[in-house]
């Protein structure tokens, strides 16, 4: 009489063309979890944020993404690890981080949104001639009463004059000859091809932030890396290629760093292991308070891969999801314990 294992293998081999490993449950991945420092959220996530994976916090402004990320970093820093905050919006506030319990000595802050001025030659000093400071003699009538140029032409040439003022040539130098353009058949010299200037605005900041994230993930050793794109509108962030997020997911898994992504709209898609959607927060309604005391946050789990189960029974069907989110109150540091 064949054993159950034999029968199972026979069925699996028969169905192998249609359903590979039909009766063998797939291997279950259990990823270690790190506490977020917020009990309500930890309870909802059955432990916290996954280690070595991408976690995405999405939501509008003032919904609490920064405070969750800082609370998470505070726990990692307390374990004597180092973290990084890649700030594409130049919005990080060190005082808030310190108030949340983050040791600033263990936090690497990369300001990608701050304008970077490369070292260049000092600008030439602009010397305004003394004649400009001597008052002109009074003239009769409006604009000289017809004894000078017409008022409609008095602003002409100002742009050229200002340009000449701020890019004045040293005295005694011959003026440059008029530039002649080579014929189309001539080949331009290599030196004439100038490097394209950096794209201004959000695209340049995002590009810098992505490069820095790449570098830090490859270096390894960071407990958590926060990529802060929370202040950039989704029309810019959504243009980031999906392969970038996949690369980050692989690198984070390899270096065992938790990558926390702050955005307004989900963009990492399947590369994020945990995706939290933060809903607009509500005021506390403490009418008697004379200072701003905090707000109540509401988080929903939009996506969670490899959620830890309580039992050892393998569910053949997808387990039901909890519709309710997590609620908690974020108080300001000056509000005190209540």
Partner 1 sequence: MTPQEMYVCMIVREFPAQALLRLRPDLQAQPCVVLQGEPPLQTVVSLNTQARLMGLRAGMTRVEAETFPGVVLLQRSPAAEAATRAVLLECAGNFSPRVEERSEPAAFLCGIDIAGTQSLFGPPEMLTRSLRQRVRALGLQARLTASRNFETAVCLAKGLPLHRSLQIAADGEEAAALAPLPLSVLSLTDAQAETFSLWGIRTLGMLAALPERELIARVGQQGQRLRRLAGGTLPHLFQPAEMPFLLEEHTELDQPLENLESLLFGVSVMLEQLILRARARVLALAAVTITLQLESGAPHCRTVRPAQAANEKQLWLKLLHLDLEAHPPAAAITAVTLQAEPGSPRQVQLGLFAPQVPEPGRLDITLARISSVVGEDNVGRAVLEDTHAPDAFRMERFRLPVRRCVPASPRQPRASLRRLRPPERTAVTLRDGRPQHLVFREQRYAVVQAYGPWLESGNWWTEKGWKQEQWDLIARASDGALLYGCVVQERQNQWRMITLYD
- Name which of residues 230 to 259 contact partner 1 (CB under 8 A): 230-231, 256
Contact residue for partner 1 among 281, 298, 299, 326 (CB under 8 A): 281
Contact residue for partner 1 among 118, 175, 177, 311 (CB under 8 A): 118
Helix axes 242-255, 202-219, angle to 10 degrees: 30
Contact residue for partner 1 among 53, 54, 107, 251 (CB under 8 A): 107
Task: List the x/- string, 29-48, binding to partner 1 by CB under 8 A.
Answer: --------xx----------
Contact residue for partner 1 among 27, 117, 180, 185 (CB under 8 A): 117
Nearer to partner 1 (CB atom), residue 240 or residue 329? 329
Nearer to partner 1 (CB atom), residue 16 or residue 104? 104
Q: Which one of 163-171, 263-271, 301-309, 329-337 is the stretch in contact with partner 1 (CB under 8 A)? A: 329-337
Nearer to partner 1 (CB atom), residue 114 or residue 305? 114
Checking DSSP bridges between strand 54-58 and strand 258-263, what pairing results, if any?
Answer: parallel
Nearer to partner 1 (CB atom), residue 49 or residue 222? 222
Question: Which of 94, 112, 110 has its CA nearest to residue 102?
Answer: 94
Half-sphere exposure at residue 331, Cβ-oriented, CA atoms within 13 angstroms: 10
Half-sphere exposure at residue 148, Cβ-oriented, CA atoms within 13 angstroms: 12
Contact residue for partner 1 among 8, 9, 12, 98 (CB under 8 A): 98
Q: What angle do CA 250, 251, 253 make, to 5 degrees?
A: 65
Binding of partner 1 at residue 101 (CB under 8 A)? yes
Token representation of residue 201: 């605005």
Task: List the x/- string, 295-314, binding to partner 1 by CB under 8 A.
Answer: x-x-----------------
What's the min distance (Å) between Cβ of 124 and partner 1? 16
Nearer to partner 1 (CB atom), residue 12 or residue 214? 214
Residue 261 has phi, psi (to 5 degrees) of: -110, 125
Three-state secondary-structure class, residue 206: helix
How many residues belong to the site for partner 1 (CB under 8 A)?
81
Task: List the x/- string, 180-219, binding to partner 1 by CB under 8 A.
Answer: ----------------------------x--xx--xx-xx
| Separation between Cα atoms, residue 136 and residue 107, nearest integer Å | 60
Tally of CB atoms within 10 A around 211? 13
| Separation between Cα atoms, residue 251 and residue 225, nearest integer Å | 12
Contact residue for partner 1 among 294, 301, 304, 325 (CB under 8 A): 294
Enumerate residues 6+ apart whose C-beta is below 8 A from 147: 139, 140
| Separation between Cα atoms, residue 155 and residue 42, nearest integer Å | 66
């Amino acid at each position: 009489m064949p054993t159950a294992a034999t029968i199972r293998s026979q069925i699996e081999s028969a169905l192998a063309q249609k359903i590979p490993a039909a009766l063998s449950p797939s291997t279950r991945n259990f990823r270690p979890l790190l506490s977020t420092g917020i009990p309500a959220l930890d309870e909802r996530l059955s432990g916290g944020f996954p280690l070595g994976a991408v976690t995405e916090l999405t939501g509008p402004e003032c919904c609490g993404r920064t405070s969750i990320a800082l609370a998470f970093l505070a726990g990692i820093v307390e374990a004597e690890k180092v973290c990084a905050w890649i700030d594409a919006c130049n919005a990080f506030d060190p005082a808030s981080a310190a108030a949340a319990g983050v040791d600033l000595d263990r936090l690497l802050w990369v300001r990608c949104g701050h304008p970077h001025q490369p070292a260049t030659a000092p600008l030439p000093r602009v010397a305004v001639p003394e004649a400009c400071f001597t008052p002109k003699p009074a003239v009769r009538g409006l604009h000289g009463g017809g004894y000078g140029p017409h008022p409609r032409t008095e602003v002409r040439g100002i742009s050229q004059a200002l340009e000449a003022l701020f890019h004045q040539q040293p005295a005694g130098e011959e003026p440059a000859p008029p530039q002649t353009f080579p014929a189309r058949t001539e080949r331009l010299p290599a030196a004439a091809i100038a490097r394209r200037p950096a794209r201004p605005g959000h695209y340049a900041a995002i590009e810098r932030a992505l490069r820095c994230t790449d570098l830090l993930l490859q270096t390894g050793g960071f407990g958590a890396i926060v990529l802060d794109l929370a202040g950039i509108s989704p029309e810019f962030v959504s243009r980031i290629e999906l392969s970038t997020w996949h690369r980050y997911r692989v690198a984070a898994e390899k270096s065992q760093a938790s990558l926390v992504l702050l955005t307004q709209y989900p963009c990492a898609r399947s590369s994020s292991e945990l995706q939290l959607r933060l809903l607009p927060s509500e005021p506390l309604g403490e009418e008697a308070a004379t200072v701003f005391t905090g707000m109540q946050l509401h988080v929903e789990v939009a996506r969670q891969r490899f959620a830890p189960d309580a039992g050892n029974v393998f569910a053949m069907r997808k387990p039901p999801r909890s519709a309710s989110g997590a609620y908690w109150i974020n108080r300001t540091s000056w509000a005190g314990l209540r």
